[in-house]
Structures are given as structure tokens and as C-alpha cells.
Structure 1
Amino acid sequence: MTRTVFEKPDVIPLVTEVFRELGYEGASMSKITARTGLSKGSLYHFFPGGKDEIAAEILTHIDKWFVLHLFEPLEKNEPQAAITHMWQEVDAYFQSGQRICLIGAFALDETRDRFAATIRQYFIRWMEALSAALVRAGIAPEEANRMSEETVAGIQGGLVLSRALSDETFFGRTLENLSQRISTAISATNGSH
């Protein structure tokens, strides 16, 4: 049965889950319509550029969520509270490791070339925002950069391994270990002053 959707923002979450499940290459327009209940006419009404436009809109939607919920708090809020908030938001967004990082998945296949700038900027902004919070928390800039790179890489790796191992607890353990490492570094830095 065809689903009635009135606004483009209503469509984005529906098509995003299809891309999460099938990847860019697997998400044909016919599979998108079958899995969302949207007609092809509705899809082309909202996305006249087809699948590439849908993917670009999804990436923009995800990026806006991360800017609002992670990047800006890390850049502007009290650093330790913002970092604690990051762990909570990451765990919730990725559903404790049961939801893939679509931007990370796009970075791994041919899609990367289509959306290279958007994908690259997402990861750079995350690492820079976390690094800035770590510096404000007292970590030296070089160490903050290294820690932020390792943290984002660890989160992405945790997502992959959680799904690969079919272990629903793996991602939570990964976040806990990364969180502990950062807390220990901040405590050590603040204790030495």
C-alpha cells in the first residue's frame, strides 16, 4: 500500500533506514519504494535528482543532527560535560551499536567518491570538536588531536565489530573504554596543575 507523506522531512528518516540496511548500491528506487511504501512519483517529487539527491539529503540530515547534538556542544559547552554528553548521544544515536554509521559505510564503498567532501568534513568536524573540548579540559593540543582521532576511530571500529560479532554489548564496552581513557587523561592533566 502506498504511504501518504506530506513533507520532505517526513521522507528522510524512511529512506535513510533503507540506505542503512541496503547500502547505496543496494538501495535502488524500486527497493526504496517497496520498503518505505512511497510511490516512485512521491520520491521523484521530493528528490528530482534521484538516488544521488536522496543520498546527499540523507548525509545533510545526518550531519545536521551531529552538529546540533555533538559538534556544537563539544565546541561551546563546558568540556567535561560536553564529552559526557557525547558518549550518551553516540550510544543513543547508534542504538548501542545496532545501527550502522551510514556516513562511515558510505566512506567504505564507491559512494565515497560521490560524496567525498561531505564525508571527509563530517569526520574532521567531529575530531576537531572533540579535540577542542579536550584542550579546554587541559589536554595539550597534540595529545588532544591524537586522542580525538583514536576516539572517533574507536567508535567507528566499535560499530563495525559489534555488528560483525553479533555482540550487542561490544559497542557499549568500546564506549566505556574510550570514555575511561579520556577521563583518566583529563584527571591526570588536572591533577598535575
Structure 2
Amino acid sequence: MGRTASVDDERIHARLAEVFRVNGYAGASLSDLSRAVGLQRASLYHRFPDGKPAMAAAMLTSLGARFGEVLQPLASESDVAEGVAEMARRMALFYDDGRMACVLDTMTLLGAPEDIRAHAGRLARTWLQAMADAAARAGASEKDAQNRARAALVRIEGALVVARVLDDPSVFEQVLGELPDLLAPDLLAR
């Protein structure tokens, strides 16, 4: 029987995400990744024999699972507006009230391998589809639901940037508070 890992995968992936979030793929050095995880390079390569690309892919896969938990209320709440509000609450926690950059953005900066950029793109499309599905459940046509989801994503990502640049998390909080009106206005009007 093998030795139990001293640092679990979820913690490693979260620490890798911190480095990739701040530095992007190209700017994340192996020294930074090793230091953040708390493992020597040899131990890090033992866990990720394919190096930084494998670290980034594992981190994005883990992030996708965590993000699935954030998006889950969009599909599970019977009241769509309440589901959007709960997703927004979870998103506030996920992004530390707008103080953290979106790792999907930083992983698509120049220098990231195409498969990593594609993985981040798939996660963004999953996010868009979850919001579009919620808008459709709220009564929007398919085209309108897609437009609402895209507008929501643009607002969220823009608010993340503005909140950090101005050091004002209220910008992010405001956008999250507007999501039920954007994605489920037909239900709120009733």
C-alpha cells in the first residue's frame, strides 16, 4: 500500500490556481508553483510527470468541479431567480467578493498552450450555458437566453477587473446583485 499524500490534491490545485491566477500560465515559474504548493520540484514532478502543462490541466479540472458547485443552483432551484441569487452568493465567495482575478482569463493569456486555453474556454462555455439554461427556464427565448448569459458573463468579468483596479469590491457586489434581474426578469416581474 502506498504512502498517504502529505498534501491532498484539492489543496495542491487551489495553491496552483493562486499562482496561475496572479501570473498567468507563462508567468508561473516552477519555483513559484513549487513554493506555493509546499513541495520540492522533484515531488511536484512526481505528482505531475508532464510538468507545468499537467499542473495547469489538473488545476483547471479541479476548478471546473468547484465551479460546478457554484453554478449548481441555476439548475437545481425550482425558483430560477432564487437559483441565480444563490449562484451569485456562491460566486462572491468563489472570487473573494471580487478581490481575485478570474483564472479562466489569466490561463488564456499569451504563452499558454492551446490545450490549456481550450480547457479554459470549455469552462467558460459551461458557465455561459448554465446561465442561458436558467434564463430559458425563466421564460426567455433561446436567442434571448444566450444574449442574457453573454451579457451576464461580460458584466461579471468586467466587474472583477474594475473591482481590483479600483480596489472597490462593491462594483462586483453590485453586478452580482443585478444578475437575477438580468437572467430572470420575467419571473421577477410576476
- TM interval, shorter chain, is 0.7 to 0.9
**Structure 1 residue 123: Cα displacement:** 1.4
Query: TM-score, with normalisation over the residues of structure 1?
Result: 0.85
**Structure 1 residue 182: Cα displacement:** 3.6
> C-alpha distance in 1, partners of 2:35/2:187?
50
> C-alpha distance in 2, partners of 1:85/1:109?
34
Give runs of aligned pairs for residues 79-158 of structure 1, distance below 5 A.
79-111=80-112, 113-158=114-159
Report how many residues are paired.
185
1:84-135 per-residue CA deviation (whole Å, 9 max, x = no partner) reads 1111111110011001110122123332623233122111111111111111
**Structure 1 residue 5: Cα displacement:** 2.7
> C-alpha distance in 2, partners of 1:96/1:169?
8
Conserved 8 A contact 2:128-2:149:
yes
Give the gaps of 5 or more residues in structure 1: none
Q: Which has the higher contact order (CA 8 A, sep 6+)?
A: 2
Q: For residues 116 and 26 of structure 1, do their structure 2 counterparts lie closer, same or farther at Cα, with a shift above 3 Å needed?
A: closer
State the match for 1:61 in structure 2.
62
> C-alpha distance in 2, partners of 1:85/1:165?
26
State the match for 1:5 in structure 2.
6
**Structure 1 residue 32: Cα displacement:** 1.9
State the match for 1:48 in structure 2.
49
State the match for 1:161 in structure 2.
162
Identity of aligned residues (%): 28
> C-alpha distance in 2, partners of 1:118/1:75?
22
Q: Which moved more, 1:49-58 or 1:111-120?
A: 111-120
> C-alpha distance in 1, partners of 2:113/2:87?
26
Conserved 8 A contact 1:23-1:105:
yes
> C-alpha distance in 2, partners of 1:103/1:25?
14
1:77 aligns with 2:77: yes
Query: TM-score, with normalisation over the residues of structure 2?
Result: 0.86
- Letter of the structure 1 residue corresponding to residue 21 of structure 2: R
Q: For residues 179 and 94 of structure 1, do their structure 2 counterparts lie closer, same or farther at Cα, with a shift above 3 Å needed?
A: same
1:176 aligns with 2:174: no
Aligned to 2:167, the other structure's residue is in SS state coil
Conserved 8 A contact 1:74-1:130:
yes
1:50-73 per-residue CA deviation (whole Å, 9 max, x = no partner) reads 111000001001111112331x43
Give the gaps of 5 or more residues in structure 2: none
State the match for 2:28 in structure 1.
27
